[in-house]
């Protein structure tokens, strides 16, 4: 079964800047200074298949750094991360797309990066294009695409890979309600089949609609980890998210009812 486990995970960056020094009020010079910045400190948690977990926190809280480490595109400074299952990660809209390649060519590129075989892609190609909703532009270069179009195409490729670990960083913040509804259905389908999903977003309605559990990061540390309603209520410092019974109405409100 799909799973991830983080144990005492920390990530340090070195920040370079110049500091002006004054000696005896006579001369000035600037000295290069390197200082450590800890984006994550002693983060520990586990997620198993069948869970959709939201990651919330202010800008700079460490959400993107955390997801990069889980995805394997960055390494921790200390601690460890264990993953079980094939991963599809959308860490930034447009990542993995070549601006001068067409949408169709980028589908092949992204599928290859994920590890999808040519035979599998050939079988799923039409379905990917249909899911993306941009068939009329699939032979146009990606540089002509809007952010929403890139998001749709990237998500379409990712879910057709049938990942066991799906990682989404603010990807659901750029689509319309019809696209969000498609995404929600696919995430539910994957999770119900035993996959797990990590969803980072500043949109608390989206997190509440998708996730039953939320991890709250604050200055690189886990401040709270628990039921979505409880954690989001604390994070937002208000609102009517008092128990899981309110999540389904929120889901309908956020994503819209099926047409």
pLDDT value, residue 205: 86
pLDDT value, residue 206: 87
Classify domain 47-76+166-259 at the CATH topology level.
Rossmann fold (3.40.50)
The answer to whether the CB of 225 falls within 8 A of the CB of 55 is no
Give the rounded distance of the alpha carbon of 244 from its chain centre.
Answer: 23
User: What are residue 95's DSSP bridge partners?
Assistant: none
| Regions of the chain with pLDDT less than 50 | 238-249
Name residues whose C-beta falls within 8 Å of residue 183's C-beta, 6 or more positions apart in sequence.
155, 171, 172, 175
pLDDT value, residue 247: 47
pLDDT value, residue 131: 94
Distance in angstroms (rounded) separating the CA atoms of residues 69 and 86:
15
């Amino acid at each position: 079964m799909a799973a991830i486990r983080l144990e005492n995970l920390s990530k340090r960056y070195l920040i370079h800047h110049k500091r002006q020094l004054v000696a005896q009020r006579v001369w000035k010079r600037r000295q290069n200074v390197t200082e450590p910045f800890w984006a994550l400190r002693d983060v520990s948690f586990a997620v198993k298949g069948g869970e959709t977990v939201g990651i919330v926190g202010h800008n700079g809280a460490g959400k993107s750094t955390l997801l990069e480490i889980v995805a394997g595109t960055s390494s921790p400074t200390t601690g460890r991360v264990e993953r079980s299952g094939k991963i599809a990660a959308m860490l930034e809209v447009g990542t993995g797309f070549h601006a001068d390649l067409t949408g169709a060519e980028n589908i092949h590129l992204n599928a290859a990066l994920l590890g999808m075989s040519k035979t599998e892609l050939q079988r799923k190609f039409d379905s990917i294009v249909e899911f993306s909703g941009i068939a009329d532009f699939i032979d146009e270069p990606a540089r002509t695409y809007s952010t929403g179009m890139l998001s749709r195409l990237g998500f379409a490729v990712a879910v057709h890979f049938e990942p066991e670990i799906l990682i989404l960083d603010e990807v659901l913040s750029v689509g319309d309600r019809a696209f969000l509804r498609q995404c929600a259905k696919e995430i539910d389908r994957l999770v119900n089949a035993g996959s797990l999903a990590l969803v980072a977003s500043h949109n608390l309605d989206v997190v509440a609609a998708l996730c039953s559990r939320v991890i709250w990061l604050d200055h690189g540390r886990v401040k709270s980890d628990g039921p979505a309603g409880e954690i989001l209520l604390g994070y937002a410092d208000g609102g009517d998210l008092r128990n899981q019974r309110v999540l389904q109405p929120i889901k309908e409100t956020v994503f819209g009812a099926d047409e």
